[in-house]
Structure 1
Amino acid sequence: MGFDSEEYDVCIIGSGPNGLAAASVLANSGLSVIVLEASDTIGGGLRTKELTLPGFLHDVCSAAHPMGILSPYLKTLPLKEHGLEWIEPEASVAHPLDGEAAVLLKLSLEETAENLGKDKKSYIKLLSPFLKNPEGLLKDALAPLGIPDHPFLLARFGLLGLRPAKSIANSYFKEERAKALFAGCAGHSIFPLEKLLSGALGLLFSLTGHVRSWPVVKGGSQMIAKSMESYLKTLGVKIKTNYKVSNLSQLPKVRAIVFDTSPDQLGSVAGNTLSSSYINRISSYNYGPGVFKMDWALDGPIPWKDPRCLEASTVHVGGTLAEISRSESDVWKGKHSDKPYMLVVQQSQFDPTRAPKGKHTGYAYCHVPSRSTKDLTEILENQIERFAPGFKDRILAKHSMNTSDFYKYNLNYIGGAITGGAADLPQAFLRPIAKINPYTTPNPHIFLCSASTPPGGGVHGMCGYYAAKTILKKINSLKAVQYSK
């Protein structure tokens, strides 16, 4: 199990998208890199399994990837040559409403606005300024605090995004359709829509749908990790699975150690090499609410009342702005909603490899209080049935995961939180603690690159990218160390 006389420049603990991104940056710079993964496969939240019946491939965690396809770093890698195939649907989002047609977020800003009645011009007015240079905005938005490349564009986005999502929706829009569409996008923040900064995620996810359609991955989300693994091997990166690191003495001799883990795990493994004040500060890190997730094997597509919902990779199920706002606020008060805001992803609608011919997979989750173990199966199914009568009749088998299941699956998911920590003030910018360089620790050899560092959650690899850039600036001053028990 040991490494004997092996020596590397960098050892990365954890193989989520950020750990893999960090490995590629470092290896491309000529450093020797080893990645250690506790599970039998790499990927973190990028895994796909037969959770229900044979032949039905379900994404265990992340499913649709707007930030993946638009990631300023990942899109520079030759992952297509290593098996990655994005599948882009006609629409990114469908948002069903009671008694009327669903609202669709399509690639065309104008086509989307046409569905919004009196709010057509307001919707275009809200988003069009940011669509003049969306790549530049995303690059700055997905970076740690510093001097942006496009300061005026980012400042305009930041001043608006700082506002509560509910405030933006009510001030820009008159009718429920546009308000609900914006609320569904803002709900990705896992944050009350009445709170400051919740508007930023509403803007960001709305914008991404007008740059590229939110894709699924052919063969499952695991193919992102597999393509990165294939690419890393061409760079000489060594990857070791089934290797759980409990203390630093298990590592080879290295110059730098990078944790693609939660601050909690960083403290557990490396705490005796870090200052007590740093440990105390990261121990109070707020991970936020958890999730309850369902996967279904289905005897056909979801029978939405509005069949146009089948054009979208993601369906925001939650009804009106008021309903979604109440659902997300309840979670932060320790309550479970009877009609929760849900994210439904329809991978098999666009990727026939996910299920046997004529069959489909279903995927949905809602936000719940941290460490909740309440079974919400019936509640989630009723909420889908509300907009897709006959859904329950198509269920062949089902699989559920509560917050405890998520933590057992991945120790990064403290309390069932899947985004690396709450995106509230100040944690949206200063995570895991207020520090000039958030990727460093008091130990000059130890770094953090997980979603608990800027820019936070999502399959974009940018936390790993910026952590690696920090290491490259410091590596020449670091001598190899070997920790003993």
Structure 2
Amino acid sequence: MTDAAIVGTGPNGLAAAVTLARAGLRVALFEKADTAGGGLRTAPLFDRDVPHDLCSAVHPMAAASRFFRRFDLPARGVRLLQPTVPYAHPLPGGRAAAAWRGLARTAEHLGTDGPRWRKLMEPLTDRSEGVVDLLLSGQRTVPRDPLAALRLALRVPAQTTARSRFATEAAEALLTGVAAHAVGRLPSLPAAAIALLLGHLAHSTGWPLPEGGSGRIAEAMIADITAHGGTLHTGHHVRDLAELGDIPLVLLDVGPREFLALAGHRLPTRYRRALQRYRYGPGAAKADFLVSAPIPWRNPLVGRAGTVHLGGTRADILRQENATAAGRPVPDPFVLVVDPAVTDPSRAAGGRRPVWAYAHVPNGDRRDPVELIRRRIEQYAPGFTDTIVAARGIPAADYETYNPNYTGGDIGAGALTLRQSIARPAARWNPYRTPLPGVYLCSAATPPGPSVHGMCGHLAALSALRRHHGLRHSPDLSPGSGRAGAGGRTGGRQTGKKRKEEETI
């Protein structure tokens, strides 16, 4: 007998399955694609010896989120490799700004703005775990670290005005480039929170790349699920919830539009209309390159970075992102670039290496991103074109074919507006529980939203365990631990420091 079904095996679906299986439930996972992982897939595209990340590539949250802290990827053999420079931002004229792992070194690099950068980031790095746990929560409980919440609250509003708090173009662009990860209108409260979250993590737990590619994270999660009795069914497209029969718990790693397709006719009118009103944000257009040499950045400092933001000055980024959010294509979109072999030399083979890149474009944009992104990289790295051996592009309009949750290319599974940062996907006290008995949403369309942190799935699973099995604390997720008990079944006790790390539901 199956106790719980998971539909969709992105990072949140896998996190939900890990949590339920560790609580002793018999879990079955159903995935439409032939391989599990969603945004955590790695595969060769042009050369069998050179793996490419098909969606996400760099994983700050895999080192920082509460789910992954407790799951402990390094103890499972997943090496999270840290670049010397987490992110860099080239500027016109060959200049560049960079965020180093060390906050002091970053401040030194920023010159006259160094003290301002340090004053902004250091109080957050000092309470990093509390900052992360606040922003990656269900947004419905009292902060676990009130001081971290206060420090964040004092800093976010200052980043929401068009006027920069920095004196130099370098520091302005460095922080604005991180804010652009919100993929939406700038400045805004959600973008400011993301800028401070990601910005301070560069100096805390870092912006790591998993050795061998993002797929290694999914492999570790799947291994834990199957070790605890879970079963995985790939190439299985669930088109209607009725196909799952009488399985008492169903967790859906799908967006609002997909949920409506699965069960819209069963939903109450008010909830159904709320899902129909759910807004999607700008799209991402993806380009993968196979190249014969490292990217020849005009400024060598950029070549040491794990992630590179191509957007120009702060004013340029605001223009690009606001036009894109309004649905107007720009010829010079904001682009994120990763040369994985800079951090993970194993990703290069036979003198060839992958280059991963996203461009922010309007939702549903149909332009071929290869040429769009090639030109942007060439602008800061003359000669890049000559290194290209092969290339593949996925327009934003086609990205939902790869993953139906990416409506119109929206890899964030919903616009990060202030309202939708909290009321995802509808205004409910428990955003995971749906009006259908035993059915929960666990995708990035629920709090805390996008990124590979697993918290949407973990929190949805905890909500289900509390309501249906009476569990008041999270099961132990650490490697090597036994099955915890759900609904009275046997499981290990935890005390002391370990108990403090538990999550009260």
Structure 1 length-normalised TM: 0.94
| Pair 1:361-2:362 in alignment | no
Given that residues 438 and 453 in structure 1 are in contact (C-alpha distance below 8 angstroms), is that contact kept between their aligned partners in structure 2? yes
TM superposition shift of 1:164: 4.7
Query: Pick from 433, 441, 446: which aligns with 1:448?
Result: 441
Q: What's the secondary structure of 1:313's corresponding residue? A: strand
Q: What's the secondary structure of 1:297's corresponding residue? A: strand
CA distance in 2, matches of 1:130, 1:79: 24
Change (3 A) 1:389 1:171: closer
Alignment of 1:102-181 (within 5 A): 102-145=96-139, 146-162=141-157, 164-165=159-160, 167=162, 170-181=163-174
Given that residues 255 and 475 in structure 1 are in contact (C-alpha distance below 8 angstroms), is that contact kept between their aligned partners in structure 2? no
CA distance in 2, matches of 1:261, 1:475: 21
Q: What's the secondary structure of 1:427's corresponding residue? A: helix
Alignment of 1:13-32 (within 5 A): 13-32=7-26
For structure 2, list consecutive stretches of 5 or more residues without a partner in the other structure.
471-505
| Pair 1:214-2:207 in alignment | yes
TM superposition shift of 1:52: 3.1
CA distance in 2, matches of 1:405, 1:49: 19
Amino acid across the alignment from 2:415: A
Q: Which moved more, 1:268-277 or 1:72-81?
A: 72-81
CA distance in 1, matches of 2:271, 2:311: 40
Give structure 1 regions of 4+ aligned residues with deviation exceeding 4 angstroms: 162-166
CA distance in 2, matches of 1:223, 1:464: 19
Q: Which residue of 1 aligns with 2:487?
A: none
* Superposed CA offset, 1:37-58 (max 9, x none): 1111110111112223332211
* Superposed CA offset, 1:100-141 (max 9, x none): 432111111110011112111111111111121101111111
Amino acid across the alignment from 1:155: L
Query: Pick from 319, 322, 335: which aligns with 1:326?
Result: 319
Q: Which residue of 1 aligns with 2:93?
A: 99
CA distance in 1, matches of 2:180, 2:72: 32
Given that residues 95 and 315 in structure 1 are in contact (C-alpha distance below 8 angstroms), is that contact kept between their aligned partners in structure 2? yes
Q: Which moved more, 1:270-279 or 1:40-49?
A: 270-279
Amino acid across the alignment from 1:69: A
* Superposed CA offset, 1:73-122 (max 9, x none): 11211434544221111110011112243211111111001111211111
CA distance in 2, matches of 1:41, 1:378: 29
Amino acid across the alignment from 2:98: L
Q: Which moved more, 1:147-156 or 1:394-403?
A: 147-156
Q: Which residue of 1 aligns with 2:503?
A: none
TM superposition shift of 1:160: 2.8
CA distance in 1, matches of 2:153, 2:89: 26
Amino acid across the alignment from 1:231: D
TM superposition shift of 1:300: 0.4
Q: Which residue of 1 aligns with 2:216?
A: 223
CA distance in 2, matches of 1:280, 1:193: 28
Q: Which residue of 2 aligns with 1:349?
A: 342
CA distance in 1, matches of 2:159, 2:75: 42
Amino acid across the alignment from 1:113: A
Change (3 A) 1:86 1:259: same
TM superposition shift of 1:473: 1.1
Q: Which residue of 2 aligns with 1:480?
A: none
* Superposed CA offset, 1:269-327 (max 9, x none): 12233212211111111121111111101010000011121211100111110111111
TM superposition shift of 1:195: 3.0
Given that residues 369 and 394 in structure 2 are in contact (C-alpha distance below 8 angstroms), is that contact kept between their aligned partners in structure 1? no
Q: Tell me the C-alpha RMSD between the 2 structures.
A: 1.7
CA distance in 2, matches of 1:13, 1:174: 49
Q: Which residue of 2 aligns with 1:435?
A: 428
TM superposition shift of 1:256: 1.0
Q: What's the secondary structure of 2:2's corresponding residue? A: strand
Given that residues 248 and 438 in structure 2 are in contact (C-alpha distance below 8 angstroms), is that contact kept between their aligned partners in structure 1? yes
CA distance in 2, matches of 1:257, 1:86: 32
CA distance in 2, matches of 1:129, 1:65: 23
Query: Pick from 180, 183, 188: which aligns with 1:190?
Result: 183
Q: Which residue of 2 aligns with 1:4?
A: none
Given that residues 259 and 449 in structure 1 are in contact (C-alpha distance below 8 angstroms), is that contact kept between their aligned partners in structure 2? yes
Amino acid across the alignment from 1:203: L
Given that residues 295 and 362 in structure 1 are in contact (C-alpha distance below 8 angstroms), is that contact kept between their aligned partners in structure 2? yes
Q: What's the secondary structure of 1:437's corresponding residue? A: coil
TM superposition shift of 1:253: 2.8
Q: Which residue of 2 aligns with 1:259?
A: 252
Given that residues 8 and 33 in structure 1 are in contact (C-alpha distance below 8 angstroms), is that contact kept between their aligned partners in structure 2? yes
Given that residues 123 and 151 in structure 2 are in contact (C-alpha distance below 8 angstroms), is that contact kept between their aligned partners in structure 1? no
Q: Which residue of 1 aligns with 2:30?
A: 36
Given that residues 10 and 39 in structure 2 are in contact (C-alpha distance below 8 angstroms), is that contact kept between their aligned partners in structure 1? yes
Q: What's the secondary structure of 2:6's corresponding residue? A: strand
Change (3 A) 1:165 1:188: farther
CA distance in 2, matches of 1:177, 1:415: 33
* Superposed CA offset, 1:7-37 (max 9, x none): 3221110111111111111111111111111
CA distance in 1, matches of 2:314, 2:323: 14
Q: Which residue of 1 aligns with 2:391?
A: 398
